[in-house]
Amino acid sequence: MASYDIVLLDVEGTTTPISFVHDVLFPYITNNVSDFLASNWNDPALQTHIRAIADQANLDAQSAISSAIPIDLLNDTPEEIRSKILANIDWQMKADRKIGALKGLQGFMWQTGYKNGQLLGAMFPDAVMAIKRWCEKSRSVYIYSSGSVEAQKLIFGYSDHGDLSGLLSGHYDTKVGAKIESQSYLRIAGDIGVASGRVLFVSDNVSEIRAASEAGMQTVVSVRPGNAPIPESELGVFKTVTDFMEIPL
């Protein structure tokens, strides 16, 4: 591995157990969303997310997505709107849909959960140690995740190892592009202002690793408990680690 100046990290299955998202964060939404909407309905910030979900629901309905339920914010009663919002959230989460309106509301709810102590971001201890070591060795650490930038900041800012946000130089989500497209990694390198070959990208997803490699980045596959196995055709193609402290500086 050549030397590098920038470390770009995935989150789920890389710095954070994959189970945290599916066993903690998503259930927090499904178990609390009905009461949360009822209790905070008149909050202007929540209403912004309601409008976004309604706009997405109407767009989906026009696109003939069978599960979509159109919402008329002008003529539906608040009870009808709330019921339809809940129904749209339910089918989208069951479909594991990664779409802006849903992620926005999730992030808004998670923010409340973190701040009131109901949620605590789970981190692999070796990931925390490695991030601190990279910072001590003047490597800048960035995050690139399919989760929104806001959700990323919450996981690191309210982690089970304390507030780690000060160790991170920046965050990227899929607004910069899909994680399986090489252009996304070129955009990130360009935004940071560094040649892509000076960036080390670490992820559990081989498709993402391949895209970053095609963009010229150095790569390491994170092998963690619960992660999807590496396809046989990819075994030996990319460097793998089970502990971030194994990654050379």
> Are 110 and 125 part of one and the same domain?
no
Domain that holds residue 225: 6-16+121-246
φ, ψ dihedrals at 158, nearest 5°:
-125, 50
CA 156 to chain centre: 12
Contacts with 31 (C-beta within 8 Å, 6 or more apart), sequence order: none
> Are 40 and 61 part of one and the same domain?
yes
Contacts with 210 (C-beta within 8 Å, 6 or more apart), sequence order: 180, 238
CA 171 to chain centre: 10
- 79 found inside a domain: yes
- 204 found inside a domain: yes
Provide the CATH number for the domain around residue 73: 1.10.720.60
Residues 180-201 have pLDDT tens digits of 999 999 999 999 999 999 999 9
Number of folded domains that form the chain? 2
Looking at the DSSP bridge assignments, the partners of residue 220 are: 202
Provide the CATH number for the domain around residue 202: 3.40.50.1000
> Are 98 and 139 part of one and the same domain?
no
Tell me the pLDDT of the chain (249 aa) as tens digits: 889 999 999 999 999 999 998 899 999 999 999 999 999 999 999 999 999 999 999 999 999 998 999 999 999 999 999 999 999 999 999 998 888 899 889 999 999 999 999 999 999 999 999 999 999 999 999 999 988 898 899 999 999 999 999 999 999 999 999 999 999 999 999 999 999 999 999 999 999 999 999 999 999 999 999 998 888 777 788 999 999 999 999
- 34 found inside a domain: yes
> Are 141 and 87 part of one and the same domain?
no
> Are 228 and 136 part of one and the same domain?
yes
- 1 found inside a domain: no
Distance from first CA to last CA of the chain, Å, rounded?
9
Helix, strand, or coil here: 111? helix
Cα torsion through 27, 175, 115, 13, rounded to 10: 50
Tokens representing 181 are: 């497209």
